[in-house]
């Protein structure tokens, strides 16, 4: 997969993309990321990229020309040509980014991400260049850059081979529509806090049922909204019905609210 990122602050990406899984995916040629400074395409001596809003009001607005010129040059499009890949704007006004969005995006060979800044971006960019608008949550960042970093990370870790263990994303929180079960590693007891017995038992069927119920329980406690859309078996539903009458789960690290 190749990802082009268009930004006024290219150096913001250096740290996050130079570490861990995103770095390794690039080294393994599973992903390539190119950061483009929109200012390089801004006309005029001063390469001005923002201006005051027509109609007045506070703040500055990103000018359309530098964004159009940058995206068209990098994607090899003439004005009005169909783009070779989805062009996505990061904005608090976009659709909410979810694991499902990350899965969809990970199926593309190429993506282009445009980072908005200032009070916003000239509306003609949205209307005539952007295919999709994505928000990473209901809060306002100072620009789309941190959001682009989040999107790239969530997408790249889904590419086959990006994680050492191919099944590693299978149980991830949100992968199946549930929160993930709790994890433990050595030592078996720390400061008198023991790892749940079942994890040491080596009994696979019991262990996978324990994990499933721990995952259901945690989701029921923390994010009951997710249960509506989750893929649940009859045994899962029976477990959730039992929770409604007996909400205390023996040996669970999750606390029930009083
Ligand atoms: N730019 C500013 N806030 C944002 C958000 N919540 N998501 C995506 N891009 C943004």
Note the pLDDT tens digit of each residue in 24-46.
999 999 999 999 999 999 999 99
One-character DSSP codes across 189-232? EETTEEPPHHHHH--HHHHHHHHHHHHHHHHHHH-GGGGGTS--
User: Do 18 and 72 lie in a common domain?
Assistant: yes
User: Do 136 and 193 lie in a common domain?
Assistant: no
pLDDT value, residue 47? 97
Of 59, 140, 152, 154, best ligand 1 pocket probe by most atoms within 8 Å of the beta carbon: 140
Whether residue 138 lies in the annotated active site: no
Catalytic residue among 117, 126, 157, 218: 157
Residue 20 predicted with pLDDT over 70: yes
| CATH code, domain carrying 143 | 3.40.1280.10
| CATH code, domain carrying 178 | 1.10.1270.20
User: Do 241 and 214 lie in a common domain?
Assistant: yes
Residue 258 predicted with pLDDT over 60: no
Ligand 1 atom showing the smallest separation from residue 140 Cα: 3
Instruction: State the residue range of the domain holding 33.
Output: 2-156
Q: Is residue 162 part of a domain?
A: no
CA of 151 to the centre of ligand 1 (A): 11
- What are the pLDDT digits (tens) for 90-146? 999 999 999 999 999 999 999 999 999 878 999 999 999 999 999 999 999 999 999
pLDDT value, residue 118? 73
CB of 114 sitting under 6 A from ligand 1: no
Q: Is residue 67 part of a domain?
A: yes
User: Do 13 and 76 lie in a common domain?
Assistant: yes
User: Do 151 and 214 lie in a common domain?
Assistant: no
Atom 4 (ligand 1) nearest CA? 92
Report pTM: 0.93
User: Do 27 and 50 lie in a common domain?
Assistant: yes
Q: Which of these three, 102, 131, 156, is where a domain ends?
A: 156
Number of domains in the chain: 2
Q: Beta-carbon neighbour count of residue 123 at 10 Å? A: 10
User: Do 150 and 234 lie in a common domain?
Assistant: no
CA of 189 to the centre of ligand 1 (A): 43
CB of 135 sitting under 6 A from ligand 1: yes
* Closest to 92 in 3D by CA, of 108, 75, 69, 115: 115
């Amino acid at each position: 997969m190749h990802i082009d990122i268009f930004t006024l602050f290219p150096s913001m990406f250096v740290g996050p993309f130079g570490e861990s899984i995103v770095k390794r995916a690039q080294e393994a040629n599973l992903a390539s990321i190119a950061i483009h400074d929109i200012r390089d395409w801004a006309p005029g001596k001063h390469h001005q990229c923002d201006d005051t809003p027509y109609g007045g009001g506070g703040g500055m607005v990103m000018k359309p020309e530098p964004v159009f010129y940058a995206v068209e040059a990098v994607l090899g499009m003439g004005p009005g040509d169909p783009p070779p890949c989805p062009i996505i704007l990061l904005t608090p006004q976009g659709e909410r980014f979810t694991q499902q969005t990350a899965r969809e995006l990970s199926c593309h060979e190429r993506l282009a991400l445009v980072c908005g800044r200032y009070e916003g971006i000239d509306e003609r960019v949205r209307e005539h260049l952007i295919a999709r608008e994505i928000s990473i949550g209901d809060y306002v960042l100072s620009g789309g850059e941190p959001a682009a970093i989040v999107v790239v990370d969530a997408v790249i870790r889904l590419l086959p081979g990006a994680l050492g263990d191919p099944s590693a994303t299978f149980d991830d929180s949100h992968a199946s529509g549930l929160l993930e079960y709790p994890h433990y590693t050595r030592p078996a007891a720390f400061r008198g806090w023991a790892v749940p017995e079942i994890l040491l038992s080596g009994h696979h069927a019991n262990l996978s049922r324990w994990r499933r119920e721990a995952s259901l329980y945690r989701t029921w406690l923390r994010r009951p909204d997710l249960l509506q859309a989750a893929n649940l078996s009859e045994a899962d539903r029976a477990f959730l019905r039992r929770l409604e009458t007996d909400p205390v789960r023996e040996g669970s690290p999750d606390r029930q609210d009083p």
